[in-house]
Amino acid sequence: MSNQQVAKYLVPGLVKGLEILLVLGQQNKELTFAELHRLAKMPKATAYRAVQTLEHMGFIIRNSRTNTFSVGSKVLLLGFQYIASLDVAQIGQPIIERLRDISQCNSHLAIRDGLDVIYIARVSSPSSQINHVTVGTRLPVHRTSLGRMLLTSSTREEFEQLYPHDELPDNSPGSPSSREQLWEMIQQDKARGYVIGESYFRYGISSIVYPVFNHEKRVQAVVSIMVPSHEIPKSDRQRLQEVVRDAALKISDLLGALPAH
């Protein structure tokens, strides 16, 4: 298709608006309207309509004191959404590899699919005697510390849609006995900001789990390590928590999450 053929399908107003944004981005400073329409090389009336539209939508903001314009926060949001659309496993793989090297523990990245936790990336420590999970392994959300952390961004309504009945499926020993108990555990995990599951799902194996947030401040994934002990030694606990937390923060940062307060 020739350039002339392509041009007839273009939306002129959109083109002009994007040209205004490009000018603001390239100048990296606040510009007056006169500077904008001159640098964008478009008629004043056309530039005025484009600026009014972009300002109304929050893509540019006006400084009322100087009557100048700059790029708005919504432009940054577009970038965050693009980053968040990338494969979380691809982003997280090198980070959990480094986590494995520092912690000397099997390291994992997992997401939630409905009522299941799915492992989407994992690396094993050469010295580990633990039978590691494989990528694609599914476990019940309500029976794992990873699953509980993945639910910490859920509203009560979303939670009840997942678990419409008070009795939980596959209510095995060691698992929450009811929906209400599970919800209380999730709220405690949310307030704490992490989960340490000592022999919670498998006897003799403990885990440390931290959430990975996306640009909407919702939990998109979790990072975890498996510690080959019934109870994590107090001498190692703080160090291991810190390295898992740092790995989760790095992935969250790459996903466009805002700094935690």
Q: Quick one: what percent of the chain has pLDDT higher than 90?
A: 26
Residue 245 is predicted with a pLDDT of 94
If you average pLDDT over every residue of the chain, what do you get?
A: 82
Task: Specify whether the CB–CB gap between 247 and 95 falls below 8 A.
Answer: yes
Rounded to whole angstroms, the Cα distance separating 151 from 221 reads 10
pLDDT of residue 65: 85
| C-beta of residue 221 within 8 angstroms of C-beta of residue 212 | yes
Q: Give the pLDDT mean for 236-251.
A: 90
Q: Tell if the pTM clears 0.75, that is, is over it.
A: no
Q: For the CA atoms of 140, 144, 149, 153, what is the dihedral angle to 10 degrees?
A: 30
Measured distance CA(74)–CA(93) in Å, rounded: 29
Reported confidence tier of residue 120, pLDDT bands at 50, 70, 90: confident
- Kindly list the domain boundaries of the chain, sorted by start residue: 3-71, 81-254
The predicted model gives 238-245 an average pLDDT of: 90
CA distance 32 to 141: 54
User: Binning pLDDT at 50, 70 and 90, where does residue 155 land?
Assistant: very high
Q: Please report the pLDDT score of residue 260 as a whole number.
A: 47
Residue 261 has a pLDDT of 41
41 phi-psi bin (left φ>0, alpha ψ -120 to 50, beta other): left
Q: For residues 221 and 112, what is the distance between their CA atoms, to the nearest angstrom?
A: 7
CATH class of 81-254: alpha beta
Question: 3-71 has which CATH code?
Answer: 1.10.10.10
Highest mean pLDDT pick, 10-14, 37-41, 202-206, 255-259: 37-41
Tokens 């799902």 -> residue: 201
Q: How far apart are CA 119 and CA 16, in angstroms?
A: 45
Q: What is the chain's Cα-based Rg? A: 24
